[in-house]
Amino acid sequence: MENEDVKVAKSKSPMDIDWKDVDQLSKYVTGTGKILPRKYTGLSARHQRHITHMIKRARNMLLMK
């Protein structure tokens, strides 16, 4: 049996989101491009800082608005 048929489930942790995952990052941004605060995202302070950093990096690489 080959391992090609096995799919690895990706974790849903915000720390696993990379700046290239624009679809995942767009959940944390409004339609006008503002980053949603912790009050609305429900993330911890550490996760919110990570998401903010990844959004800013994606903007810098012109992947996001």
pLDDT digits (tens, 9 = 90+) for 9-52: 456 789 999 999 999 999 999 999 999 999 999 999 999 999 99
Q: Decide if 2 is inside a domain.
A: no
Is residue 37 in some structural domain?
Answer: yes
CATH number at residue 32: 4.10.640.10
Give pTM, 2 decimals: 0.80
The DSSP-derived string for 3-60 is: GGGPPPPPP--GGG--TT-HHHHGGGB-TTSPBPPHHHH---HHHHHHHHHHHHHHHH
Give how many domains the chain has, as a whole number: 1
Domain that holds residue 23: 17-65
pLDDT in the model for residue 4:
56
Q: Residue 12: what pLDDT?
A: 77
- pLDDT given at position 38: 95
| 3 within domain boundaries | no
